[in-house]
Amino acid sequence: MTSSIPFKIFVVEDNKWYGELLLHRLGQNPDYSVHRFTTARACLDQLGEQPDLITLDYSLPDSKGEQVLRQIRERLPATEVIVISGQEDVTTAVSMLRQGAYDYLVKDENTLDRLWNIVGKVSEQASLRRENNRLRQQIGARYSPGQAILGEHASVQQVHSLIAKAARTTITVSVSGETGTGKELVAKAIHFQSGRANQPFVAVNMAAIPRELVESELFGHEKGAFTGAVARRVGRLEEANRGTLFLDEIADLDLSLQAKLLRVLQEREVTRVGGNQSVAFDVRLIVATHRDLLAQVQAGRFREDLYYRLLGLPVALPPLRQRGNDVLLLAEAFVGDFCALNNLPPRQLSDGARSLLLSHPFPGNVRELKAVVELAAVLADGEQIQAADLPLRDSRPAVGAGSQLSLRDQTTAIVQHCLDEMGGDVLAVAAKLRIGKSTIYRMLQQRELHLA
């Protein structure tokens, strides 16, 4: 398959016959763009074209290989250089490799074949780098403040501003807001817009880890540290080294571990459970909670010193009910994404559906809105989503047995609908909804779902 971006090669060879031979051999690949130079100066003058690979004759009329290689490495550190020489001196080869040459080839009857294979390998590596860069750019665009946290309300614009400011530094960030407002999205937006975007982003939900395992999860453990520790395990702090560690629901951290976390953050060193060796780490810390952390401090459930260590730059996410028309902007985006992902015809919100969404308080915030409109897109019979398709909870106190669906019921309804639609194919439903098949089997076992 021909690459859309040619792999650019400079051939630097003063011998006319051998230079033409290299040019002809490498030019047989249509994905290669090959240019030949007979002097070092001619090549160096064209380095602005940023070749992916340079084949360099060791003995040129105007310079020696060491000097040319040094200048190439200084100006284009990502460009690979293959030295081709008539000298079989091992000392010369070792010297060139130490200076950064990708390989050193001696001119003989096998040189062209060896060069062809090496260039192919370098080309594949360059293609992977380009693909990785493209994916990183896509992720960065996806988690730009305006894309990660959709909305035009003034409170959301303020959040965008704080995300941008946080991304320019390594200050600790504390994100607060009701459940479902998008706290992890804020953390990812800060990470992927920061200078650490190419490093790990590690998220830990403190409320989801059994209390006895939290210390091992954060700090790691050595083999034999406790029953079941059959091998060394690197903790999340080490795993996030040079990147970002996001500690969600930080208020759920046990008091006994709060002191240990404070010490680790102050020393920037961690000792694995059962070990005695300190390991230095460098992480950008972002914490989040749906609780009032200061109230937790006043109630004696959270250490005051740790609170001030984590406070950093506070980012408060507004609840959806305070964001006005952002409800419709988000609903339309969620419906569009869901329909595209599931190959459904485009769906539009009817006037009645829009009015109903605007009047609902959304106690589950953006997470609830997403679940509701995605289910509505499944339930809708035509191109329009009607008010009756929106399974919204009644926010008023229940008088009798209510028929409104909870958020859990909405999730169950989506899975049940897909099971019915796909003839009970659990694997197909799991793939379509991007959930674990074990989750569906567990729901079936607990009789939350049924097979037709």
Is the pLDDT confidence value at 434 over 70? yes
Same domain, 265 and 161: yes
Burial 103-130 (b: 16+ CB within 10 A, else e): bbbbbeeebbeebeebbeebbeebeeee
Domain count, the chain: 4
Quick one: pLDDT band at residue 395, thresholds 50, 70, 90? very low
Phi, psi at 393, each rounded to 5°: -70, 145
Is the pLDDT confidence value at 426 over 90? no
Mean pLDDT of 386-403: 61
DSSP 8-state class, residue 393: P
Burial of 216 (0-12, 13-18, 19+ CB in 10 A): buried
Is the pLDDT confidence value at 86 over 90? no
Which of 398, 400, 352, 399 shows the shortest CA–CA distance to 376? 352
Coil, helix or strand at residue 248 = strand
Residue 398 forms part of a structural domain = no
Residue 141 forms part of a structural domain = no
Phi, psi at 377, each rounded to 5°: -65, -30
Q: Output the CA angle 8-11-14, nearest 5 degrees.
A: 160
Residue 58 near residue 87, CB atoms below 8 Å: yes
**Residue, of 225 and 245, whose pLDDT is higher:** 245
Question: What was the pLDDT predicted at 144?
Answer: 62
Domain boundary among 134, 165, 185: 134
Structure tokens of 428? 């197909």
Question: What was the pLDDT predicted at 2?
Answer: 44
Question: What was the pLDDT predicted at 421?
Answer: 75
Quick one: pLDDT band at residue 148, thresholds 50, 70, 90? confident
Report the CATH number at residue 177.
3.40.50.300
Question: Which residue do the tokens 């605007």 mark?
Answer: 358
Residue 64 forms part of a structural domain = yes
Amino acid at 157: Q
What percent of the chain lies above the pLDDT cut of 90?
Answer: 56
Same domain, 376 and 412: no
Question: What was the pLDDT predicted at 124?
Answer: 87
Structure tokens of 61? 């009329």
Quick one: pLDDT band at residue 444, thresholds 50, 70, 90? confident
Same domain, 120 and 269: no
User: Chain centroid to CA 130: how far?
Assistant: 17
Q: Dump pLDDT digits (tens) for 292-302.
A: 999 999 999 99
Is the pLDDT confidence value at 415 over 80? yes
Which of 112, 10, 15 shows the shortest CA–CA distance to 55? 10
Same domain, 306 and 191: yes
Mean pLDDT of 151-158: 93
CB atoms within 10 A of CB 87: 15
Same domain, 351 and 274: no
Beta-ladder partners of 285: 245
Is the pLDDT confidence value at 1 over 50? no
Burial of 308 (0-12, 13-18, 19+ CB in 10 A): exposed
Same domain, 351 and 415: no
Report the CATH number at residue 56.
3.40.50.2300
Structure tokens of 432? 């379509």
Structure tokens of 141? 């665009």
Domain span at 212: 146-315
Residue 274 near residue 225, CB atoms below 8 Å: yes
Question: What was the pLDDT predicted at 89?
Answer: 77
Which of 182, 197, 202, 201 shows the shortest CA–CA distance to 364? 182
Question: What was the pLDDT predicted at 66?
Answer: 87
Domain boundary among 82, 101, 134: 134
Q: Dump pLDDT digits (tens) for 217-236.
A: 999 888 877 777 778 888 99
Q: Dump pLDDT digits (tens) for 328-374.
A: 999 999 999 999 999 999 999 999 999 999 999 998 899 999 999 99
Euclidean distance between CA atoms 2 and 23, whole angstroms:
19
Report the CATH number at residue 343.
1.10.8.60
Helix (H) or strand (E) holding 177: none
Question: What was the pLDDT predicted at 85?
Answer: 86
Q: Which of 149-153, 243-247, 249-253 has the lowest mean pLDDT?
A: 149-153
Residue 401 forms part of a structural domain = no
Same domain, 375 and 416: no
Is the pLDDT confidence value at 259 over 50? yes
Amino acid at 11: V
Residue 208 forms part of a structural domain = yes
DSSP 8-state class, residue 208: G
